[in-house]
Structure 1
Amino acid sequence: MTTHATEDARPDTPEIDDHGVIGDCETLALVSNLGDIDWMCWPRADAPSLFGSLLDPDAGRWSIQPESATHRTQQFYLSETNVLVTRFQTEDGIVEIDDAMAMDGPQRLVRRVRCVRGSVSVRSEFVPRPDYARAAVDWDSDTDGVTLQTDSLRLRLRASAELTLDRDASLVTCAERLDEGDELAFDLAAADTDRDFDDDTEVAEHVAATVTETIDYWKLWTAGGTYRGRYRSAVERSALALKLLTNRSTGGMLAAGTTSLPEHIGGERNWDYRFVWIRDAAFTVYALLEIGHDAEADAFIGWLVDRVDECDQADGSPLTPVYDLDGNARIGERELEWRGYENSRPVRIGNAAADQFQLDIYGELIDSLYIFDRRSRGLSLDTWDKIRLIVDYVIERWREPDDGMWEIRSEPQRHTASILMCWVAVERAIRMAEFRGRPADLVAWRRARDEMHDTIRTEGWNDELGAFTQTLGGDTLDASILLAPLVKFVDGRDPRWTSTLDAVVEHLAHGPLVDRYDTDRYDDGLTCGEGSFTICSFWLVEALARAGRVEEARRSFDQLLGYANPVGLFSEQIGPSGRQLGNTPQALTHLALISAAVALDEALDSEET
């Protein structure tokens, strides 16, 4: 639950932490604890924005707030759901807003305002700015609400009270005084697919029914999970966040729901994460299967298999690191003339990482297919042929420098973690071939696997540092090496590994928070620093648990959970001051949280028996 003391003056930009997220598995919206929807794309999360004031004050918002002075706000989810409540404690009484997106029927966003105590005047300001605030809007108003239309969008806003349209300002307002028990309802939906309402009462009833149906949907979905460990609240919230990031039409999972939230305030590390990364594949499949959400794991595997079945070496790499939800790899990268979050520019749409050469993606891809292959009916013969093609490609190219897991924008290097994941690709493919008696050049595959292993143990090891290094022959650390025991490259208690673990803790960790690398010593092509990576921080927890340092792992995990925002969500990074940075909610962080919770439960159970 968020608790936030407020002043009469409206803050220029809310903290990234101060947002809950709602969605319908097609799009999602960020709702600040001051009642603003300040980021939402329509009709899909990777579509152009409708509200974008989080990144630019002129990019649109939908605000609902009491008109009297507010002493405190709170924000929380209804238990086991993605229905968000924002509470205002004012000098005149208490008001709550229920925000939800319908999970059945036409796409719609509903907002229900109710006066819990006292008598409070409430004002709504609906300020859409479609197509990243570039589109001209035509407005229409009648007894059934207000309609906005662009060349590609037609939406209708309805309310249980009178709406006032200001065409010149492209603004729709609604002001109403609510006594205890009174409600004010709003409904936003596609104009061409929705039915008319007879009167204001019917709008209120319809919104109330939508909220109830949405609550029921999410409670039923959450009940399908099987995790019963010590960290159920955090795992369930992570699962609910991941579900919001999973597109129900394609099965792809977005890396995050936003673009260009900065990794360094005022800096250039601002990226668009509204795409699907192959890198996330194995983490996604493992985490979802571990907590019983098999349908989502199967859907994502279906999305991955489609990419594998489409792969072709004729134009170079058989796969690219990043795709859109539909599986298109040509996504480009452009900049908007926006102010940026707290003047952090540029604001980017699209992601040039799709054009990079990243070897690690093949390990994560094949590891996810291996997990699925062992737990299911298996992969098709045609898909296996494509996997063989990919493995042969990896064996041919693994000695080359690449852009690495972290998608550096400097010169390619021979990253140790990239070779580690190449080893995973070949090792898992060998297992898949042997498990089902599939055809494969196992002699060549085993030779390559062993050469990769030897290369990491010799060229990827630094005696003076006492650790596996960021690059072959290098003397710097990278938190991606924490994956080594997780992918079974090395036992968690191997002397070389425990020495590496100590080095990571000494040089990259700040308590439970872990930097991915030292930006002062490693040139990644960017000019500013960054925060600690929440993903790496949860990887450290799992590595500690696997090393037998269970109490240390538990303490770190408990501390990390305290860095979640007040409604349990994580962005990509935690800054030096403890504030959340980067895009949110971050899928890979919540996946790593689930994996760490499962590993920690297993380690604690083992100690207790």
Structure 2
Amino acid sequence: MSDVKRKIEDHGVIGDLRTCALIANDGTLDYLCWPNLDSPSVFSALLDSDAAGLFSLAPDWAHPRQQQLYLPDTNILQTRWLGPEGVAEMTDYMPICRQHDSLPRLIRRVKMLRGEARFTFHCSPRHDYARAETTASAGPGYIDFSAPGQPTLRLAATVNMTLDQHAATGSFHLKAGEDVAFIFGSSDDPHVTALNTLHCFDETLHYWRHWSRQSTYRGRWQENVQRSALVLKLLTSWQHGSIAAAATFGLPEELGGVRNWDYRAAWIRDASFSMYALMRLGYVDEAQHFTQWVSRCVENSHTDEMRLQVMYRLDSSTELHEMELLNLSGYGNSRPVRIGNDAWQQTQLDIYGELMDAIYLANKYGEAISQRGWQHVSRMIDWVSENWMQADAGIWEMRGEPEHFLHSRLMCWVALDRALRLGLKRSLPMPYARWDSARSAIRQDIWENFWHKEQGHFVSTRGGKHLDASMLLMPLVRFVSATDPDWLATLDAIKIHLVSDGLVKRYNMNETPADGLQGAEGSFAACSFWYVECLARAGRIHEAHFEFEKLLSYANPLGLFAEEFDVRGHALGNFPQALSHLAMISAAFFLNRKLSGEETQWQP
């Protein structure tokens, strides 16, 4: 990581339920897509050099101590500098977008708490993933940034700014008790020229604290669980009800490698898991908005057979064509930097199980399903009952030939199981015998074709002999008892072959099926938390507790997780990652109940 100026884990994230910004612990805003999370970036220094766009702001001190923290129960971020000269802090936040025509605004307020300091700043947006030629022009109290065919952006401030090669630059001096403010947003937004930010701060603070108070979780690791919930909420679209897999694109799974994907889309799988995590904490409204988003995705899929895509755009549109940004050198020279994701064209049968589980739980904890909603479900389950035996790309989106994956079979079983349970619970019309027959056939297929008698454990592909970490979900979705001897043998095999000091690999790169890509990747955060939960469910409480505490130590100082860990526990992959945080919530939820001696039986 020596050639990386600001590491992934050195960042906090803020947002307004429309987009997100990353801010490093040195005060540099080096990543922002505008106006939406999946819009082109306007600050891209994280994925290139500083010339790709940043907004830096810091005191002119030699070697200050740098800290970041969130105001409790909020997504308002503070960056602090401490040194012999004094103490300074910067508060970064984005007022919540709660109207369809609201445009994002980013507010930075710097305050001197003790001593005095001279601060310097440099703001240089670069439109369209730093591909467009951005020019700057000055007005009274603001500087505008424009590029052909791109929205004009504006930086307003309570201090003087100068133009320097199409950047807003300057310096200012603060004594204890003094502060200055910057607002970044659209030139068409009248709020960007009004520098009375106290009202915005109070509203934003109230929003996040009011939302946090709705959590019903009171167990161990409450701050960690709530931070993860706040991350999931940040990735949720207020307008559409979707939830993005992560805030970023292009951050590598291996430093210098090619596994650099765009996660600014809504995977059916990740979004469904996220809704489950939020519902467990008492957040029901998000689940209702999510089911409405899914309905729009179904309508946009233009299919009579209910064959869903793996992922959709955040607004529920369907196409996410993949391309490479040749102008960006990548984080730590990790190329190519990709936008879009061609996995949208893959077949991944597991998504039906994850979606149906979320629908089932939304009905259990929220409003009853509508007649039209049940008709959509019935058509979807009919399709699954007739197509569960297909080969597919699997949960890990293999880019080789389709395979028969255990996890895909497992989640097709979940789809049928939850649909049958929901139908019985709500006395809904359904072809019970046909669905039940398909559910039984899948169970039989898994035991006959994915159990390796010689090795004495389940395997990841039909007729194969290898493991992958998605198998950890078998007891978590209640397909097999967490204490079944055959499952425990599989858990032990995963521990031997995929686990190192509690960090879990998705699969071994030198084993088939190959994913069709060069290079390696780190350990997967979500799989590591699944492993903890499996240990806890198997009754290995002390082992689970210790491994969980180790995983928490790999979070960054703000409690944020990326997608993966390298061999030293440093963050890799897109950040922050929804799947990592929701898996942490699930592991904490169950482990806390086990440690408290509470009943943990699942009641459908």
Distance 1:30 1:91 in 2: 28
Following the alignment from structure 1 to structure 2, what is the Cα–Cα distance between the partners of residues 404 and 373? 27
Alpha-carbon distance in 1 for matches of 2:271, 2:279 = 12
**One-letter identity of the residue aligned with 2:553:** G
Mapping for residues 532-571 of structure 1, pairs under 5 Å: 532-571=523-562
Q: Paired residue for 1:445?
A: 435
1:162 counterpart = 2:154: no
Gaps of 5+ in 1: 1-9
Which residue does the alignment assign to 2:95? 102
Amino acid at match of 1:329: T
The answer to whether the Cα contact below 8 Å between 2:156 and 2:192 also exists between their aligned partners in 1 is no
Cα RMSD over matched residues?
1.8
Relative distance call for 1:196 and 1:494 in structure 2 (3 A) is: closer
Contact 1:332 / 1:351 at 8 angstroms: preserved in 2?
A: yes
In structure 2, do the counterparts of structure 1 residues 387 and 137 end up closer, same or farther at CA, with 3 Å as the change threshold? Answer: same
1:18-50 superposed Cα distances (whole Å, 9 cap, x missing partner): 000011110110000111111001111110001
**Alpha-carbon distance, 1:328 to partner:** 1.0
CA contact under 8 A between 1:281 and 1:368: conserved in structure 2?
Answer: no
Q: Which runs of 4+ in 1 moved over 6 A?
A: none
Give the corresponding residue for 1:307. Answer: 297
1:488 counterpart residue number: 478
Aligned-residue offset at 1:213: 2.7
Q: In the alignment, does 2:171 pair up with 1:171?
A: no
Report whether the alignment pairs 1:18 with 2:17: no
Structure 1 stretch displaced more, 243-252 or 69-78: 69-78
Report what 1:320 is aligned to. Answer: 309
Please give the alpha-carbon distance, in whole angstroms, between the structure 2 residues aligned to 1:317 and 1:413: 22
CA shift, 1:412, in A, is 1.1
Of the three residues 94, 113, 117, the one matched with 1:120 is 117
Alignment identity in percent? 44
Distance in 2 between the 1:211 and 1:157 partners?
Answer: 18
Could you tell me which amino acid in structure 1 is paired with residue 89 of structure 2?
E
Post-superposition offset of 1:447: 1.4
Name the CA distance, whole Å, in 1 between partners of 2:20 and 2:220. Answer: 29
Task: Please state if 1:194 is matched with 2:161.
Answer: no
Output the CA distance in 2 between the equivalents of 1:302 and 1:580: 34
CA contact (8 A) 2:300 2:316 kept: no
- Contact 2:185-2:192 within 8 A present in 1 as well: no
1:516-535 pair list within 5 angstroms: 516-522=506-512, 523-535=514-526
Report the residue type matching 1:592 in the other structure: A
Matches within 5 A, 1:164-563: 164-166=162-164, 169-195=165-191, 203=195, 206-314=196-304, 318-337=307-326, 338-522=328-512, 523-563=514-554
* Contact 1:356–1:403 (Cα < 8 Å) also in 2: yes
Partners of 2:295 and 2:476 in 1: CA distance:
24
Deviation, structure 1 residue 464? 2.9
Alpha-carbon displacement from aligned partner over 1:346-367 (angstroms, at most 9, x marks no partner): 1000011101011111111111
Query: Residue type matched to 1:53 in 2?
Result: A
Q: What is the distance in 2 between the residues matched to 1:372 and 1:389? A: 19
What is the alpha-carbon distance in structure 2 between the residues aligned to residue 78 and residue 561 of structure 1? 20
For residue 52 of structure 2, give the secondary structure of its aligned residue in structure 1. Answer: coil
Asked if the contact 1:514–1:532 (Cα under 8 Å) also holds between the matched residues in 2, the reply is: yes
Uncovered stretches (5+) of structure 2, i.e. residues with no partner: none
Provide the rounded CA distance (Å) in 1 between the counterparts of 2:598 and 2:234. Answer: 35
Secondary structure class of the residue paired with 2:597? helix
Using the alignment, how far apart are the partners of 2:209 and 2:425 within structure 1? 38
Checking the alignment, whether the CA contact within 8 Å between 1:312 and 1:318 is kept in structure 2 is no
In the TM superposition, residue 608 of structure 1 has moved relative to its aligned partner by 9.9
> Whole-Å Cα distance in 2 between the matches of residues 196 and 209 of structure 1?
13
Task: Write the distance in 2 (CA, Å) between the matches of 1:607 and 1:380.
Answer: 34
Q: Which residue of 1 aligns with 2:138?
A: 141
In 2, the alpha carbon distance for the partners of 1:36 and 1:564 equals 20
Separation in 1, partners of 2:348, 2:436: 22
Deviates more, 1:485-494 or 1:455-464: 455-464
Cα distance in structure 2, aligned partners of 1:214 and 1:386? 38
Q: Residues 126 and 173 of structure 1 are in contact (CA less than 8 Å); yes or no, is this contact kept in structure 2?
A: yes
Q: For residue 74 of structure 2, what is the aligned residue in structure 1?
A: 81
> Bigger shift: 289-298 or 234-243?
289-298
CA contact (8 A) 1:264 1:529 kept: yes
Q: Deviations over 1:333-355 (max 9, x none)?
A: 01101100001011000011101
How far off is 1:107 after superposition? 2.7
1:310 is displaced (CA, Å) by 4.8
Distance apart, 1:195 and its partner CA: 4.6
Deviation, 1:378, is 1.9
Q: Identify if the C-alpha distance between structure 1 residues 196 and 548 changes in structure 2 by more than 3 Å, giving closer, same or farther.
A: closer
Contact persistence 1:144–1:196 (CA under 8 A): no
**CA gap 1:141/1:598 in 2 versus in 1, 3 angstroms:** same
Compute the displacement of 1:467 (Å): 1.6
Please tell me whether residue 29 in structure 1 is matched to residue 37 in structure 2: no
Letter in 1 for 2:94: M
C-alpha contact 1:106 1:194 (8 A) present in aligned 2: no
> For residues 137-187 of structure 1, what are the alpha-carbon distances to aligned partners after superposition, in whole Å with 9 as ceiling and x for unaligned?
343312131122332312221111101013xx2111020111222212111
Amino acid in structure 2 at the alignment position of 1:494: D
Q: Deviations over 1:182-226 (max 9, x none)?
A: 2121111222121575xxxx72xx123323332222112111211
- Are 1:47 and 2:36 matched, yes or no? no
Look up the equivalent residue of 1:29 and give its one-letter code: A
Moved more, 153-162 or 599-608: 599-608
Query: What SS does structure 1 have at the residue aligned with 2:115?
Result: strand
Report the equivalent of 1:593. 584
SS state of the match for residue 22, structure 2? strand
Distance 2:355 2:368 in 1: 15
> Any conservation in 1 of the 2:247–2:576 contact (CA below 8 Å)?
yes
Instruction: Give distance in 1, aligned partners of 2:67 and 2:489.
Output: 45
Q: Distance in 1 between matches of 2:505 and 2:74?
A: 32
